[in-house]
Amino acid sequence: MAQAYSNPKRASDPYSLPDVEVWDSHYCECPECDNTVLYNNARSAACPECGKVFAVSGSDPVGWFYWYCFPGCLPDSDVMGPYDTRGLALEDVQGE
């Protein structure tokens, strides 16, 4: 996950930390139970339905997402998205 600033002016402040994580997700089918599995750019995924961990080969993009989160901390918001591009996700978070 890439970190960003909700206010880009804070990026030049040496005492400021990024407060947003932005990532893209994909989905694929579990080979064991055919359940749709959502995952983030990993080489493997775990099916929440049957528990099988499997290698990912070929997937369909879902979109870009973000949430508010300081480095090393749990998220401070719900997941926002999906957006078609990383730029659109950042535009939304920085426009608020």
pTM score of the predicted model: 0.75
Q: Are 32 and 47 in contact (CB under 8 A)?
A: yes
Bridge pairing between strands 20-29 and 60-68 = antiparallel
Residues 28-54 have pLDDT tens digits of 889 999 998 888 767 788 898 999 999
Domain boundaries, the chain: 20-95
Residues 10-22 have pLDDT tens digits of 999 999 999 999 9
With 0-12 / 13-18 / 19 or more C-beta atoms within 10 angstroms meaning exposed / middle / buried, residue 62 is: middle
pLDDT at 96 over 90: no
